[in-house]
Structure 1
Amino acid sequence: GFTLSITRYSIPEEMEEGSFVANLAADLGLDVRSLEERNAKLDVIHGKNYLDLNKDTGELIIREKMDREVICMTKTTSCFLKMEVILSNPVRIFNIELEILDINDNAPLFRRKTMHLDVSEATPPGERFSLTNAVDADVGANSIKTYYLSESKYFGIDIQTGSDGSKYVDLVLKGKLDREEHAVHNLILTAVDGGVPPRSGTASIIVNVLDINDNAPLFIQPVFAVNVSENSAPGTVVMILNATDLDEGSNAELIYSYTLYTSEKTQEIFSLDPNSGEIKVKGVIDYEASQSFDMYIQAQDRGSTPLSGHCKVMVFVTDLNDNHPEVTIKSLKRAVAEDVSVGTLIAVVSVSDKDSGMNGIVDLTLNQQDILPFLLNKSSEDYFELLVSKPLDREVMSKYEIVLRVRDRGFPPLSDNETITLEILDVNDNAPTFSQSIFTIHVMENNPPGAILTSLSAFDPDLNENQYLVYVIMEKEIVNMSMSMLFSINPENGDLYGMKTFDYEREREFLFHIEARDSGNPPLSSNTTVHIIILDQNDNTPQIVSPWRAQGSLVEEVIPRSIEKGHMVAKVVAVDSDSEQNARVTYQLLQISDSSLFSLDQYNGEIRTTRMFTYRDPRQQRLVVIAKDNGEPSLSATVTIKISTVEHAMPFSETTELPIEYDVFTNLNLYLVIGLGAVSFLLLITILVIIVLKCQKPKPKAIKIPPANRNSVVSRNSVISQRSSTIADSTLISSDAYWYSLFLAETRKGKVVVRQPIIPKGAGYFVSSIPRSIGPSEAADSRASTLE
């Protein structure tokens, strides 16, 4: 009872928000003012989402833009939006239908943007393939009108209309396909609606042409040439074959293999990968064995009906410098004498190299230093002679390692060495040599007989019997005594022995020669000088020669009591037959009656008064003087001096001369000669003095001998000298200063002066003039001589 009528409006769906639709109040016959007066209102019950009702004016306004395809989900020709408007006071309900008119606001749309078709290249023309249609949300004339296909000489479309007016399209094959020419066809299908202006939508059609095995494998060229170096390591890739098959899939999968024309030797050296076509080195490639290889290879596909292609691979081996040059000894002398002549042939050698070209050209040289005395002479193309180029000397080089170095001209060059060992045979061309031209040997006196003195050795650089030496002493007589009686030498090793005990006081030195002779043929020899120097031992006790006294007796000295302080009372002189330190004598007072009265000079033996005598001093004084040498251990002698004082000086009788007893003189001679040996002379002066003394002996000087002692035996060369004409007696009486000076002066001249003290039968002095070069044997011979 409340629904009055249905009011219908039509609007296009493109109307924007706020657009005026209609004046609903006017269309319903209602006065807006009267409604206000009675407090009545119009209100939309349904459809508020899309329309608004102006309550003041009664106008119906678009609330939001409407989409027909949203409002009407089903694709129908007509689309209505229904709504109800209520009027209060009194209540009345009005039905409103708003027809939404379609506009071409939707383009055709394919449900699949990309369509894939697999078509075998064997498909005949005219074959049809269904395609997915396009859809369009619009209706009527705005829906899909037709389809278009991009240009293609192989494909076209066929459009059909369904019972509901829908448009369907099929893809039609127009020409024969060739996958190898065009494997994929990309097509564009366009759907166009009937709107004004028309809208369109597109889809991509990808046609994959399926392969059939209609193409055989093909190599890019029928013959391949490749180089490979000899001695290439196994696994080295020679080349990779790449045959092509225009087919695909299994029809294009190739298998490589050798054909029956390929030799087994080639297949042993090279491997062929059946899948990749890779050819690798498998065996040893030797240029010298084979310079090239031929391989016949086929490539076969995996099609149901396999097809194949063929090619030939020629492998050329590149020569490497892999063969060392060789030296071959054709003839050889392994030993030559050192006196072989220059130009002597030592060896004949040949050279070779298995390589070719520059790798096979070789050069032969001697890998030697400047001292190797050989040279190579090229006798022919590959033959060389090894010759002696310089004189040989075994003592310089006894063996030669001659290195023959052969080198080719390849890159990098290879070389090899051949060593020839050449032994140089010895010739007795070297005389023995001593390390010194003179050997000075010091021998301590009192040596045991037969003791070794030294070992002399000579060197001979020769070998074997040319080097075996024999040592001999060259004979020489010394004072009618053979040198072999004094010394002996071991002929094999040169040990030198002393055959007797030497006495420094009798023999001071020996000079002789030793010869070393080899056992070669003919033998060679050389000699050296041996200088034996006898060294002194402290084996002689000092002998007190002044003041002289008989054996075991006292020495008496008489002096006036009135002498002054410092007066020389006596002088002790001792001599030692030893030399140097062993002969250096010092003096000491061993006993003294009054130590305050006398003093002793330890070096010259002078006894002097330290004060004047007093009446309290005894008239007789007793002094014991000890003379000690400087040897180790020290030896000594003593003398007792009895000093008597008188009131007045006693007159001395005329100085007389007293010969010395034979036995005393002989001992003195011996001691004096030994003492003189301490003075060293140069060797040359000593030898010259010895030669002169042996050739001419000095004539004895005439002396005056008292009648009472004329028949006494004295030593030859002794001279009795009076203290007389040239010397004042007062000097002799007052002191021994003159005597001491004479003693020193004569000693420096090679003479020994001995003072003879006062004895009852007279007093005198004698001078023994003994040249230093005369030995004890000559002194002994003088015993039978008498003085003139």
Structure 2
Amino acid sequence: MEKAPVSESRPLRQASRQRRRAVRGPAAMEMDARWGPAVRLLVLVRAWALVSGQVRYSVPEEAKTGTVVGRLWQELGLEAGDAEARQLRVVWQGRRASVEVSGASGALVVSSRLDREELCGKSAPCSLRLEVLLERPLRVFPVELEVTDINDNAPRFPVNEEAFNIAELSLPGSRFPLEGASDADIGANAELSYTLSPSEHFRLDHQRNDDQSDSLALILTKPLDRERVPVHRLILTATDGGRPSLTGTMELVITVLDANDNAPQFNQSVYKIKVLEGSEVGTLLITLSATDLDEGSNSDIMYLFSRRVAAQVKEMFSVDENKGELRLQGKLDYEEMDNYEITIEARDKGTPPLSGHCKVLLEVLDVNDNAPEVWVTSLSVPVPEDASVGTVVALLSVSDRDSGANGRVRCWVWPSSPFGLESRFAGSYSLVLREALDRERVSAYEVEVRAEDGGQPALRGSRGVRVPVSDVNDNAPSFSQAVYTVLARENNAAGAELARLWARDPDEAENGRVSYSVWEGGTGATSSGGGWRPASSYVSVDAESGRLWAVRPLDYEELQVLQFEVRAVDAGEPPLFGNATVQLFVVDENDNAPMLLPPAGGGPGLVPFVGGVVGASVEAATGSESETLWAWATWGSPAGQVVAKIRAVDADSGYNAWLRYEVWEPRGKGPFRVGLYSGEVSTARALEEADGPRQRLVIVVRDHGEPSRSATATLSVSLVEGGEAALSVAGSSSSSRLGVLSVAEGSLAAGAASSSANVWLVVAICAVSSLLVLALVLYGVARCAPRAAVLSGPSPATLVCASEVGSWSYSQRQSRSLCVAEGAGKSDLIVFTPNLPPPPPGPVAENGSVGNGLSPSPLSSSMASNGSSGC
């Protein structure tokens, strides 16, 4: 075999080797230093194989370009340099050339990357058959090139990340198969081992099967808790058996699928809130919040009342199912319920649903919305008016449903008297008497017990208590006045009502029921006949009504004033009484006609009367009395000469006894006239012979009553000479007989016959003058002397006197007399405005006239004793 010529010298080869080394870099040089001995050994083996007929070379994959696989020129027995000259080259069979023959050195070198996995895959061994072509002469040499595996491929998983979904409730020991890694290398370089990153929940199970395949599984060692670790991230590492070993990793992403294994949880187990009572409906009280560590529908929460919540709570509150808002839907009343315990449930929507619970302790805060209340627990009425001070009238209970200052109550009584409050203990009071009572002043009290709390603003309450006062017999009957003046007309019928008396007793019932009676203790009257009679013989009083009525007809001429006492007695125990004095004045009626009195003497020209009442007749028409009187008058008497005096008296009084005199006959202008009120008959003019020897006068005496009554007197006046008149006077003075004015016709004739009548006439005139003066003196003394009043009693009487001219004069505490010369005096009394009490409630007498009851208006009447008509 020829050796291939060596085309280049050793220095050049060395220089070329150094350049290749420089190009290859430090890494290639390191590789050469590592694989150099192996390559030389392989070349020797191949050279031997070539000599024996088969050239084999072995080169590690991934050998660097230029790496000498073998020195073919030596294998072929060529000289150095012949390989290039004889065009030694390598021919591949259907593959691209990865090795070539270096022309300069004739060595088989790596020309491109050798990748065993690309060339042979997992086949082992990896032998490449190639032919070495030598031209000049043409020769072919088979060469087998074995590419040996190096650990240049790391284990490789199909994916870089593998995701798993594992249920949260998976049991420990559960297996989850894994796909192992692959390694392109072969042999020991492809033997893989697996490791798993540390985990408390998982471990790796690696088993080698009989077919040398690996079986990988992930084993669950501890229950999963999605809520604690929802995703587990593990690193699975595959390590080959090469030197140095290479690794490949894959991330295992394990998602824990949620299971409804967590009940909703509130952030607090107990919520405490405070709400004012009376808050508006719909007020938000609190928003509850619960969380569920689960997810999805397992974490959807709805809020509702627990089944143990009372119906009252459900009526008062509402909870929003989705938002957890607890709201007020009723009126809170502290006094009914001051706190609520509400159990709220938070329930998820998992299967089965789980729930959590919390308590809401709601405290109701008091506001001053309740006024104090006052109750009467005991009432002791009526209260006697003589009850002592300190008597307990009622027991009261005062309360306020509020609390604290809103429930502190103070109480008082309005009006403040006569009752007061005494506190017994908290909330209890006694209504006691503080002052003496008087039922007659106040029969019942409307007491108001007022209470006020300490709230802001304060509220008030009250309770009215009616306290009636019971009567005791502490008041005697009392008349409205001590003295009553009652006027009664005389001749009243028996049983006629005179007045009504009324006594007031402020007590009630039997204590105030009054009965009346005429008190006989010394009351009565003395009649004009001189006998004493008790008051009950004249009047009587009804025991129940107090009606005063006449027992018998009253006669003013018999009785003018009756004074007596009426006693009023109540029916109490003991009975009390009161007295009133009644002054009963009998009012005169014109029931007596004037009565003529016998003459007491004559005036100038008047001779003593020698006869009595010559005649007396009562005229049927007028009811008057007629009597013939005698008188004388001298011719030539001047006008105004008193001839006679007519005397008359009326048993009545006042106007009824006020007399006036009139000449009835002759009518016209006669020679005589009569004084209207004095009754003196005097000459109206000088007497003349033409007047005749005798004049007859009819004189009417009338009173002023209604209707008036009258009496008539016939006066016969004889006209004589002066001497005859003196004899008449002397004769009349020697006579002691009283009679009606008359002059005997016989004595007048005898006086005319005597011649010495003039002397006696002078004597008679002197005697008459002396008597006249004496009569005037006595009359003046009688007029000026005071007379005792007719009436007696505690109150003064008003007396009225009539003057000669018919006017009235008034005086108090004394009487005036209506008088005539030598006549009996007569006192006239008129009482005005009787002081009568108002009648008691009940019917009033229809007849308001005096004597038939009490007149509604003051009455005046005149009452007088016997007397005459002139002063």
**In structure 2, what is the Cα distance between the partners aligned to 1:747 and 1:575?**
17
Letter in structure 2 aligned against 1:621: Q
2:733 aligned partner: 655
- Give the CA deviation at 1:271: 3.4
1:536-685 equivalence runs, <5 A: 536-545=588-597, 547=599, 549-552=613-616, 553-592=627-666, 595-649=669-723, 650-651=725-726, 652-653=729-730, 655=733, 658=736
* Equivalent position SS for 1:365: strand
Letter in structure 2 aligned against 1:530: V
Q: 2:316 aligns with which of 248, 269, 289?
A: 269
**In structure 1, what is the Cα distance between the partners aligned to 2:574 and 2:362?**
75
**In structure 2, what is the Cα distance between the partners aligned to 1:541 and 1:255?**
132
* Equivalent position SS for 2:410: strand
Check conservation: 1:262, 1:294, Cα contact below 8 A.
no
The one-character-per-residue Cα deviations of 1:623-658 (angstroms, maximum 9, x if unpaired) are 211111111111111111122212324121252565
The answer as to 2:764 corresponding to 1:731 is no
Check conservation: 1:621, 1:643, Cα contact below 8 A.
yes
With over 3 angstroms needed to count, the CA separation of the structure-2 counterparts of 1:291 and 1:484, relative to structure 1, is closer
Check conservation: 1:226, 1:238, Cα contact below 8 A.
no
**In structure 2, what is the Cα distance between the partners aligned to 1:220 and 1:659?**
153
Q: 1:286 aligns with which of 325, 333, 340?
A: 333
2:503 aligned partner: 458
With over 3 angstroms needed to count, the CA separation of the structure-2 counterparts of 1:388 and 1:637, relative to structure 1, is same
**In structure 2, what is the Cα distance between the partners aligned to 1:383 and 1:565?**
110
Check conservation: 2:288, 2:326, Cα contact below 8 A.
no
- Give the CA deviation at 1:437: 0.5
The one-character-per-residue Cα deviations of 1:335-364 (angstroms, maximum 9, x if unpaired) are 332222222233333332222111111122
**TM-score normalised by L of structure 2:** 0.47
The one-character-per-residue Cα deviations of 1:123-143 (angstroms, maximum 9, x if unpaired) are xxxxxxxxxxxxxxxxxxxxx
- Give the CA deviation at 1:451: 1.9
- Give the CA deviation at 1:396: 2.2
**In structure 1, what is the Cα distance between the partners aligned to 2:774 and 2:379?**
93
Check conservation: 2:634, 2:687, Cα contact below 8 A.
no
**In structure 1, what is the Cα distance between the partners aligned to 2:737 and 2:571?**
63
**In structure 2, what is the Cα distance between the partners aligned to 1:275 and 1:618?**
156
**In structure 2, what is the Cα distance between the partners aligned to 1:498 and 1:488?**
6
- Give the CA deviation at 1:538: 0.6
What's the Cα RMSD here?
4.6
Please identify, of 633-642 and 284-293, the stretch whose mean Cα deviation from structure 2 is larger: 284-293
Letter in structure 2 aligned against 1:376: L
**In structure 1, what is the Cα distance between the partners aligned to 2:774 and 2:736?**
19
With over 3 angstroms needed to count, the CA separation of the structure-2 counterparts of 1:309 and 1:727, relative to structure 1, is farther
Check conservation: 1:256, 1:297, Cα contact below 8 A.
no
2:747 aligned partner: none
Please identify, of 558-567 and 590-599, the stretch whose mean Cα deviation from structure 2 is larger: 590-599
Q: 2:585 aligns with which of 521, 529, 533?
A: 533
**In structure 1, what is the Cα distance between the partners aligned to 2:641 and 2:714?**
19
**In structure 2, what is the Cα distance between the partners aligned to 1:350 and 1:428?**
35
1:200-349 equivalence runs, <5 A: 227-232=274-279, 235-238=281-284, 257-258=303-304, 260=306, 263-264=309-310, 265-272=312-319, 280-293=327-340, 315-349=362-396
Check conservation: 1:256, 1:272, Cα contact below 8 A.
no
The answer as to 2:432 corresponding to 1:395 is no
* Equivalent position SS for 1:616: helix
Letter in structure 2 aligned against 1:528: A
Check conservation: 2:635, 2:689, Cα contact below 8 A.
no
Letter in structure 2 aligned against 1:534: V
Task: Flag structure 2 segments of 5+ consecutive residues without an equivalent.
Answer: 1-265, 290-296, 350-354, 526-530, 601-612, 617-626, 741-762, 789-820, 830-864, 867-871
Please identify, of 223-232 and 335-344, the stretch whose mean Cα deviation from structure 2 is larger: 223-232
Letter in structure 1 aligned against 2:712: T
* Equivalent position SS for 1:228: strand
* Equivalent position SS for 1:379: strand
Letter in structure 2 aligned against 1:587: Y
1:425 aligned partner: 470
With over 3 angstroms needed to count, the CA separation of the structure-2 counterparts of 1:274 and 1:570, relative to structure 1, is farther
Letter in structure 2 aligned against 1:729: A
**In structure 2, what is the Cα distance between the partners aligned to 1:278 and 1:503?**
111
- Give the CA deviation at 1:582: 0.9
**In structure 1, what is the Cα distance between the partners aligned to 2:505 and 2:571?**
11
**In structure 2, what is the Cα distance between the partners aligned to 1:732 and 1:642?**
26
Check conservation: 1:298, 1:309, Cα contact below 8 A.
yes
The answer as to 2:427 corresponding to 1:375 is no
**In structure 2, what is the Cα distance between the partners aligned to 1:269 and 1:726?**
139
**In structure 2, what is the Cα distance between the partners aligned to 1:596 and 1:283?**
125
1:434 aligned partner: 479
- Give the CA deviation at 1:535: 0.7
* Equivalent position SS for 2:406: helix
The one-character-per-residue Cα deviations of 1:524-581 (angstroms, maximum 9, x if unpaired) are 1121111111110011111232658433342222111111122223333322121111
**In structure 2, what is the Cα distance between the partners aligned to 1:657 and 1:520?**
76
> What percentage of aligned pairs have identical amino acids?
34
The answer as to 2:519 corresponding to 1:474 is yes
**In structure 2, what is the Cα distance between the partners aligned to 1:447 and 1:576?**
20
With over 3 angstroms needed to count, the CA separation of the structure-2 counterparts of 1:771 and 1:617, relative to structure 1, is closer
1:43-58 equivalence runs, <5 A: none
Check conservation: 1:262, 1:295, Cα contact below 8 A.
no
**In structure 2, what is the Cα distance between the partners aligned to 1:597 and 1:364?**
105
Check conservation: 2:371, 2:461, Cα contact below 8 A.
yes
2:573 aligned partner: 521
- Give the CA deviation at 1:402: 3.2
**In structure 1, what is the Cα distance between the partners aligned to 2:272 and 2:516?**
87
With over 3 angstroms needed to count, the CA separation of the structure-2 counterparts of 1:529 and 1:277, relative to structure 1, is same
The one-character-per-residue Cα deviations of 1:127-160 (angstroms, maximum 9, x if unpaired) are xxxxxxxxxxxxxxxxxxxxxxxxxxxxxxxxxx
Paired positions, count: 472
With over 3 angstroms needed to count, the CA separation of the structure-2 counterparts of 1:745 and 1:591, relative to structure 1, is farther
Q: 1:405 aligns with which of 450, 455, 475?
A: 450
- Give the CA deviation at 1:283: 2.1
- Give the CA deviation at 1:326: 3.3
- Give the CA deviation at 1:522: 1.8
**In structure 1, what is the Cα distance between the partners aligned to 2:566 and 2:823?**
41
2:460 aligned partner: 415
**In structure 2, what is the Cα distance between the partners aligned to 1:341 and 1:432?**
25
The one-character-per-residue Cα deviations of 1:322-344 (angstroms, maximum 9, x if unpaired) are 33433344444223322222222
Check conservation: 1:258, 1:295, Cα contact below 8 A.
no
With over 3 angstroms needed to count, the CA separation of the structure-2 counterparts of 1:641 and 1:657, relative to structure 1, is same
1:38 aligned partner: none
**TM-score normalised by L of structure 1:** 0.52
**In structure 1, what is the Cα distance between the partners aligned to 2:614 and 2:700?**
17
Check conservation: 1:431, 1:518, Cα contact below 8 A.
yes
Task: Flag structure 1 segments of 5+ consecutive residues without an equivalent.
Answer: 1-218, 244-250, 303-307, 665-724, 752-764, 780-788
Letter in structure 2 aligned against 1:641: L
* Equivalent position SS for 2:458: coil
Check conservation: 2:319, 2:325, Cα contact below 8 A.
yes
Letter in structure 2 aligned against 1:322: D
**In structure 1, what is the Cα distance between the partners aligned to 2:519 and 2:654?**
33
